[in-house]
Structure 1
Amino acid sequence: MKRINFDLRELQAFIAVAERLSFRVAAEELHLSAPALSRRIDKLETMLGVKLLERSTRHVELTNVGRVFLEHARSALGELEGAMLGISDLAAKRSGVVTVACVPSVAYYFLPTVIDTFAQRYPLIRVRILDEGANTVLNDVVNRRADFGINFIGTQEMDLEFEPIFSERFVLAVHAGHRLARRRKVRWEELCDERFIAVGKSSGNRVLLDSALAQSPRRPTSFFEVAHVSSLLGLVEARLGVAAVPQLALPPHNHSTLKGIPLVCPEVSRTLGLLRKKHNPLPHAAQILYDLIKEEADRR
């Protein structure tokens, strides 16, 4: 029986290209030049005696053999990574990268605690965070630019698995010196007389709020409009108006300038969940971070 002699670098190179369908993106993640990455793929195909990828200057696609081999390669590499990460002495020496796509509010005040725990256990495994809008996060997971995502949309996608982790309410963000800052709750209709700041209509949060308030007889209209929640909060801190934001978007309690007040009539909330491709096992390091995020959500 002919012995096939290749090392993990060729296997990792193939998986990276196959999952991203991009030599450029895969090369960046593996810290290789595009020619070096291409040589590894060529070497693997030569040793196997089959073509795994169809490629041109603009397009990369798996062959039928490549699709079958990808599942075996993931399984083999996952088992090896699991074995190595399960041994404490080796775990600290493991390297690699986990890519997580998430909405910005999660990146600001939720993920840092989890990533700190992960980094202490696996100091050489890098975490790449793609903090983008909800639609971009969805596309990052669908197109495998991210190992998994944290989002509040995606439940209707047939190829994706959405695992809820917690719900959060929308609150009114006001400056601490605003006349509403001492209120225990505020009705949506009361915002009609305020300078209301909103995110653009392409934002997932805007779509959610517009849908929830569609039947309200009086609803606020935007005086200012921005693209990102972080910019929105900056305008609130500058005393330019008030805004409705997810609870997670606000800094921790006792912030010197920003206050969050529950919005009622109606109460509007969103459910955040972990988003991943169905029937596609996560790399072992990504699975560990995925599980840590669930644990932190349960703790909160």
Structure 2
Amino acid sequence: MELRHLRYFVALAEQLSFTQAAEKVHVTQSTLSHQIKQLEEELSCQLFSRIGKRVVMTERGEAFLEHAQRALREVEEGMKTVRDTSNELSGVVRVGTTHTFNMRIIPRSVSMFVAQHPSVSVQVTELPGDIVARELLAGNLDFGITYKPENTAQLQFEPLYNEEMRLVVGKHHMFAKRRFVRMAELHKQKMVLLPQSFSTRALLEDCFEMANAQPVVVAEMNAVVPMLEFVTMTDAAAIISEYGLWGDEVAVLPLQSPTPVRTPGLLWLRDAPRSPAVRQFANIIRDRVNEFNPKRRLK
């Protein structure tokens, strides 16, 4: 199978006329018919049915069409990328990221990228995970760095690594001197958690249910910094990513039975074109993730 077979097939699928399809791809009608027959023989199935002078796609032809179109788009995009690499990158890269990533990965990635490509402007916006997906769908971002959203029909999620969630308590909390805490021990414990709209909250609720634990949620906050401040001032606990913590004003404890684990990744608009600048910045982020998480990166 060669690219011309795919181009001829897509042209005929779009025109449903051998005459018009042949004109579109600039070949004779007999050549087009011969190439389609070769493709059908290679696939061992009929892609089109001839009903009198009409041409209709078979069920297998319709199934193959989406893949053929995607393959041609990928080839065109790859050719464009290769041509563009000889030129200096320019334009704007728009990224939406959650708090944890914005603390650890983004600053270093941006500094490396702008040093290599000073003609590119990088715009980073810190957003909750669900808003990252919404802004991406609205066309306001080139890609996001977040957790896998529930609805991925129009989105493509590329997992990067696994991160464990940690229990965070004040220095005088009853758990402060412990080596670890089981999820069941959080039953009726005062806690500050992310709002119900966050995917991480849904993950934690599942873990609580598995452990038969019902904590007392005394507050909900949508950002890590105020949650940490709240923990230092009260006897409440919080559950935060192991990579979202800093300072020595709190005690950080592993959670077990079960251990809450999240998987951050790159979030793309499915089948949307990616500029060379966007691709290059995403590659730098992947490299930084591998440096930070050599044992937990996903291949």
Q: Which position in structure 1 is the counterpart of 2:275?
A: 283
Residues 62-87 of structure 1: CA deviation (Å, up to 9, x unaligned): xxxxxxxxx9x9889856643223xx
Q: Which position in structure 1 is the counterpart of 2:173?
A: 178
Uncovered stretches (5+) of structure 2, i.e. residues with no partner: 1-73, 294-299
Q: Taking structure 1 as reference, are residues 280 and 170 closer, same or farther at Cα in structure 2, changes over 3 Å only?
A: same
* Partners of 2:169 and 2:235 within 8 A in 1: no
Alpha-carbon distance in structure 1 between the residues aligned to 2:92 and 2:119: 9
Q: Which position in structure 1 is the counterpart of 2:260?
A: 268
Look up the equivalent residue of 1:260 and give its one-letter code. Answer: V
Residues 130-171 of structure 1: CA deviation (Å, up to 9, x unaligned): 211111111122222111111112375122221110010111
Residues 99-141 of structure 1: CA deviation (Å, up to 9, x unaligned): 1112112112222222222122223422211211111111122
Q: Which position in structure 2 is the counterpart of 1:147?
A: 142
How far 1:181 sits from its partner (Å)?
A: 2.6
Look up the equivalent residue of 2:265 and give its one-letter code. Answer: G
* Partners of 2:164 and 2:260 within 8 A in 1: yes
How far 1:265 sits from its partner (Å)?
A: 1.4
Residues 202-250 of structure 1: CA deviation (Å, up to 9, x unaligned): 1221122113322332231201222323321221233452101122221
**RMSD between superposed Cα atoms in Å:** 2.7
Q: Taking structure 1 as reference, are residues 148 and 194 closer, same or farther at Cα in structure 2, changes over 3 Å only?
A: same
SS at structure 2 position matched to 1:99: strand
How far 1:286 sits from its partner (Å)?
A: 1.1
Q: Which position in structure 1 is the counterpart of 2:249?
A: 257
* Partners of 2:183 and 2:207 within 8 A in 1: no
In the TM superposition, what are the counterparts of 1:155-174 in structure 2 within 5 Å?
156-174=151-169
Indicate whether 1:224 and 2:227 are aligned: no
Indicate whether 1:82 and 2:120 are aligned: no
Q: 2:102 aligns with which of 96, 99, 107?
A: 107
Alpha-carbon distance in structure 1 between the residues aligned to 2:132 and 2:209: 26
Structure 1: 4+ residue segments shifted above 6 A: 73-77
Indicate whether 1:192 and 2:201 are aligned: no
Q: 2:197 aligns with which of 186, 199, 202?
A: 202
Q: Taking structure 1 as reference, are residues 77 and 205 closer, same or farther at Cα in structure 2, changes over 3 Å only?
A: same
Q: How many residues align?
A: 220
Alpha-carbon distance in structure 2 between the residues aligned to 1:151 and 1:295: 17
Look up the equivalent residue of 2:272 and give its one-letter code. Answer: N
Uncovered stretches (5+) of structure 1, i.e. residues with no partner: 1-70, 86-93
Q: Which position in structure 2 is the counterpart of 1:98?
A: 93
Q: Which position in structure 1 is the counterpart of 2:229?
A: 234
Which structure would you say has the larger Rg? 2
Look up the equivalent residue of 1:186 and give its one-letter code. Answer: V
Give the TM-score normalised by structure 1.
0.65
Alpha-carbon distance in structure 2 between the residues aligned to 1:184 and 1:172: 11
Alpha-carbon distance in structure 1 between the residues aligned to 2:161 and 2:131: 21
